[in-house]
Amino acid sequence: MSFKVRGIVLPEREERTFWIDGDRLRTDPGPDAGAAETVVDGGWLLPGLVDVHTHPGTEAVAVPFDDEVLRKQLLEHRDAGVLLIRTPGSAARIPGWVDEDATLPRVRSAGQWLATPGRFFPGYGRDITEAELVQAAVEESAASSGWCKIIGDWGFEDPPVPIYLLKAAIDAVHANGGKVAVHCQTADGSRNAVLAGADSLEHGMHLDPGLIDQMARQGTAFVPTMSVFAAHEKAAREREPSPRRDWWLTGWEALPANVRAAHEAGVTVLAGTDSWPCGTVATEVGQLISAGLPAEDAVAAASWRAREWLGLPALTDGAPADLVAYADDPTLDPAVLAHPTRIILKGRIVA
């Protein structure tokens, strides 16, 4: 059975018709066009939503990675229209069966979190010494989708991974054709990630805005994961005053302005949810809009721009047949993202 879809394609805002040939989109109907079943006729078309910072496979910190939980959470992403994810670190490497399963979203993984002493939940990632970091970074990127994830800082009063070491790891991964995501929330950790040339800065809660222009120049993307912080704001404000509480709130209150400034400076700002439940990237789009991104750019951060950043095209001839349809324009009303009318993944209708 072949399928036909028609609608207004974003971001071009052009009405187009696609025929689905296996797991590819085609603009040429081919000889069997008359037999194609029309499964989308009108509305707005996006090339699948993207969550560039999500950790499926477990449901709580220190709970072991589990294949069944991984499958369940990937399906939660898929059923929300999230057809491509990046997992910047996991408690275990993403197993090969995920890529082989046509019902699951496409995954770009970064292997296990790389944690030097005192810089992560003990035993939750790949615990290594600082002397082992460079080699471990190359190993994880080679064993995954080309990415690795380094925990660049942890405690708010503790020193980050030294910049010379972080740069050595990033340079080694780059020399091997890979990319590096760096977890950073402290000012020093964020500074080191930028100056060391990280490919993506994850969280960046206390990012010095003076570094934003350098991020733009060198192509460091910003994944602020605002929605996970927003979910904890109320609890943070209700805690007894303490240096850690004040540090957290100061970082959270500064984050929206930094996200807006990064976007205005030309930094690639992307949508990532970080924590559970899965399939909530539409909430992150709303947070990016609240920070000051234009709605179209916020939607792009969770769709066509994110796909391009991860190496996949948008809705063009020959592109992967990953498509989400909506009754209304999500760039005018981003709440529409939570209500897809049709989801097609790898050429299959899944909703």
Domains of the chain: 3-47+313-349 (2.30.40.10), 49-309 (3.20.20.140)
pLDDT tens-place string over residues 138-196? 999 999 999 999 999 999 999 999 999 999 999 999 999 999 999 999 999 999 999 99
Contact (Cβ atoms closer than 8 angstroms) between residue 217 and residue 267: no
Quickly state the pLDDT bin for 35 (edges 50, 70, 90).
confident
Q: What is the pLDDT of residue 1?
A: 59
Tally the residues of the chain. Answer: 351
pLDDT tens-place string over residues 94-145? 999 999 999 999 999 999 999 999 999 998 999 999 999 999 999 999 999 9
pLDDT tens-place string over residues 211-257? 999 999 999 999 999 999 999 999 999 999 999 999 999 999 999 99
Q: What is the pLDDT of residue 33?
A: 64
Quickly state the pLDDT bin for 36 (edges 50, 70, 90).
confident
Contact (Cβ atoms closer than 8 angstroms) between residue 349 and residue 103: no
Query: Which residues make Cβ contacts (< 8 Å) with residue 126, sequence separation at least 6?
Result: 111, 112, 113, 114, 115, 136, 140
292: pLDDT strictly greater than 90: yes
Q: What is the pLDDT of residue 34?
A: 67
- DSSP, collapsed to helix, strand or coil, labels residue 316 as coil
CA distance 275 to 61: 10
Question: Rounded to whole angstroms, what are the CA distances from 305 to 121, 181, 265?
Answer: 32, 18, 16
